[in-house]
Every structure is written in C-alpha cells, then in structure tokens.
Amino acid sequence: MAAPLHRRLVAELLGTALLVTVVVGSGIAAQQLSPDDVGLQLLENSTATVFGLTVLILLFGPVSGAHFNPVVSAADWLLGRRAGTGLTGGEVGAYTLAQIAGAVAGAVLANVMFDIDITELSTKERAGSNLLVAEVVATAGLVALIFALARTGRGALAAPAVGAYIGAAYWFTSSTSFANPAVTIGRIFSDTFAGIDPASVPGFIAAQVVGGLIGIALVRYLFPDVAAAAGDVVVPHTTHPSSSETADTRSTR
C-alpha cells in the first residue's frame, strides 16, 4: 500500500525544494567560479543537477515516487485513471501545490546560502519559439522515459536514467531543459544564471504541458497497457509492513 498522503506530500515538497536548490545553487556557484565562460558554467550546472536529481530520486522515491514535477503527476493520473492505478485527481492537486511550494523554497534557500538578495526576481529573459519547441521535446522525452521504465519493470533504473536524461537535455535543447512547471516557477526567484524572468514562464509552462501530452500519447502507443504500471512512477513506492506489524498480524491468526 502507498504511504499516507501527508508523508508523500512532505517528500514531494522536500524533494522538489532540494532539486531547485541544486539547480540554482550550482548555477550561482558556476557563475562565480567561471564568470567568463558560459559553456563551463553550463557544464558545472548540468553535472551537479545529474548527480543531485539521481540522489533525490533514490532518497524520496520509496515514499512518494519522486515525481517532483506536476506534469509527471498529471500524466500519472491521466494514464492510470481507467485502471484505478496511480494518483487520484485530488492527489495530483496536492502534489502540485507541494511541488510548487518546494520549488520556491528551494530557490530562496540557494539564495540564502550564497548571500543573494531573496527579494529580487529573475531578469533573465528566455523567450523565442525555439526555446518553446525545446521545452516540448524535453518534457515529452522525460514523460515517455519515466513511464516506459515503469511499464517494463525497470523502475529501479529511474534514478540514474532520469538524471542522465536531464543532464543530456541540458545540452541538446536550446532551453537547457526545464521540463517541469514547478521548477520553472521556482527559478523565477533567483536573479542568477539559472533564473527565468516571470514574463517567460507562461510560455514555458504551456510548452511543458504540450510536451507532457505528447509524451503520454507516445508511451500509450508504444506500450498500450502502460496504465497498469502508473502506480510505480517514478519509482515503485508501496510500503511494506514492519517486522512488528507482521508479528502482530500473525499473532491474531
């Protein structure tokens, strides 16, 4: 059975917060360490994100599935609703709120650690149809990967596989692969290398939603029975009774 909702929400909030702390914090550090080399900044930022995301999925995945992403949570509901697997609609809303709150808190935490004014919003414009296309591609690939792993019983590989995909997408997409509405909102609150100005956010989120729908369509085509695995996204997270609970159960038989 799944962990209680309140426990899953705390895991989603903390996991998303720490993910954004990794992304923003490493972006700030990269900007300070390599002020005249944007390529090196991106390498430093993407490397930290790969390792950080992998560790966070391993840490929080057994509790909540480690979605850390409203698009992934919504896809979990859309794919699993007919089979009665995955999240319910209400849980998707709760996950989304926890993820957004965590993302904002994570950006603020990174700013505090690097002694940056937490009241300043990002002024880094990320506009252009090419960037929106990149977000569609990045998000579609992410959703397809996650559900393909779950459907084929390889959820244990999700941590390194998702980390590797996001790390690669930093480089093969022009947008550096946000692929996550919560993270996109969180990055408004850091006027640094990793930030995004508020005016650019609606376009990014719209592109991510479109990418999520394309990813869902792709995975349903490739794996028609994917709905059966929706409960194991991003990684399997059913709880098992403790030894004391097992003993109590046996004693009543």
Residue 182's identity, in one-letter code, is A
The pLDDT of residue 253 is above 90:
no
Instruction: Tell me the pLDDT tens digit for each residue of 211-242.
Output: 999 999 999 999 999 999 888 889 888 755 54
Q: Residue 187 has which token pair? A: 């990055």
Instruction: Tell me the pLDDT tens digit for each residue of 23-49.
Output: 999 999 999 999 999 999 999 999 999
The pLDDT of residue 248 is above 70:
no
Q: State the pLDDT at residue 244.
A: 45
Q: State the pLDDT at residue 239.
A: 59
Instruction: Tell me the pLDDT tens digit for each residue of 82-91.
Output: 788 889 999 9
CATH class of 5-236: mainly alpha
Q: State the pLDDT at residue 232.
A: 87
User: How do the domains of the chain map onto residue ranges?
Assistant: 5-236
